[in-house]
């Protein structure tokens, strides 16, 4: 390239950027889609009754379904609450979501919130719907927040939940993924 005129070098750089730039964008989008796509080996959250602990889940280590069980018109059994660990991901059957009450999503934080002020929360659905709201910080330990979601919002699809925390971090966001089948 050193034998080329400055105009030719600039043109070569533009051609290179024109080819590499879109390839990088496509690669980033592909990785993002893979993060939200359910894996073949990913288990659907299965609820089982444990007398001492209430309701818990099998198969999913980072996330768990818990809470008192209620009857749902679709399937027989539903869960009242979904709990996700930081950066957690869970798959849930749509029939497990109660149809007659708000669905509680409890999100665990990386570290305790310094106060009990509500945290900014965003829920994005893959079909473009979104909810911008706040989550209530648990006053006793300040390590979890609760978000009540209308049951008609959680239709089959993928959802990203994002919380802006008060951590002393340059990028104080935690993201969670919920997949409803």
- Scanning the chain, the segments in alpha helix (DSSP H) are 6-36
Q: What is the pLDDT of residues 16-59, one digit of tens each?
A: 767 777 777 766 666 665 555 555 444 444 333 333 333 333 33
User: Do 33 and 19 form a contact (C-beta atoms < 8 A)?
Assistant: no
What mean pLDDT do residues 122-129 have?
Answer: 94
Place of tokens 């024109």: 18
- List Cβ neighbours of 163 (8 Å cut-off, separation of 6 or more): 107, 109, 119, 120, 121, 135, 145, 173, 174, 176
Give this prediction's pTM: 0.59
Sign of CA dihedral 85, 88, 91, 96: positive
Place of tokens 């509680």: 104
For position 126, what pLDDT does the model report?
94
Sign of CA dihedral 23, 161, 157, 60: positive
What are residue 143's DSSP bridge partners? none
User: Do 91 and 42 form a contact (C-beta atoms < 8 A)?
Assistant: yes
pLDDT over 60 at 15, yes or no: yes
Closest CA to 91 of 156, 153, 135: 156
Cα–Cα distance for residue pair 14/31, rounded to 1 Å: 26
For position 45, what pLDDT does the model report?
41
For position 136, what pLDDT does the model report?
93
């Amino acid at each position: 390239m050193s034998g080329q005129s400055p105009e030719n070098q600039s043109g070569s750089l533009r051609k290179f950027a024109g080819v590499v730039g879109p390839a990088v964008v496509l690669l980033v989008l592909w990785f993002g889609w893979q993060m939200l796509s359910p894996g073949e080996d990913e288990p659907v959250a299965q609820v089982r009754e444990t007398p001492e602990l209430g309701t818990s889940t099998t198969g999913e280590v980072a996330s768990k379904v818990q809470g008192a069980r209620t009857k749902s018109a679709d399937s027989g059994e539903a869960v009242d609450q979904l709990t996700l660990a930081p950066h957690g991901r869970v798959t849930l059957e749509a029939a497990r979501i109660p149809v007659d009450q708000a669905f509680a999503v409890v999100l665990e934080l990386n570290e305790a919130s310094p106060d009990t002020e509500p945290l900014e929360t965003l829920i994005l659905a893959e079909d473009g719907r979104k909810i911008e709201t706040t989550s209530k910080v648990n006053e006793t330990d300040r390590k979890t927040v609760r978000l009540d979601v209308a049951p008609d919002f959680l239709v089959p699809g993928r959802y990203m939940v994002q919380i802006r925390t008060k951590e002393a971090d340059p990028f104080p966001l935690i993201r969670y993924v919920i997949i409803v089948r």
